[in-house]
Amino acid sequence: MDYAGVDLMRGRDGRLMVIEVNSIPAWRGLQGVATTDIAGLLVDDFIDRRVAPGRAERRA
């Protein structure tokens, strides 16, 4: 699996606990609090690794 959604919750003692791992994550919640274009990063990564390996080197 290339990507996963990991739901975390902080316990009363301050430690993070994994609540669930989703193989098909919904990024809407994370995107609602992030300033980075998550979908764009995922698409770029997919293209770099699956469609056009080596593309990153050619862009440099």
Q: What is the pLDDT of residue 23?
A: 86
Q: Which residues are within 8 A (CB) of 16 and not within 5 positions of it... i.e. 6 or more apart? A: 8, 9, 10
| CB-count burial class (<10 Å; 0-12, 13-18, 19+) for 48 | middle
Prediction pTM value: 0.53
Per-residue pLDDT of the chain (60 residues; tens, 9 = 90+): 778 888 999 999 999 999 999 887 777 888 899 899 988 998 888 888 877 666 555 554
Q: What is the pLDDT of residue 50?
A: 79
Q: What is the pLDDT of residue 56?
A: 53
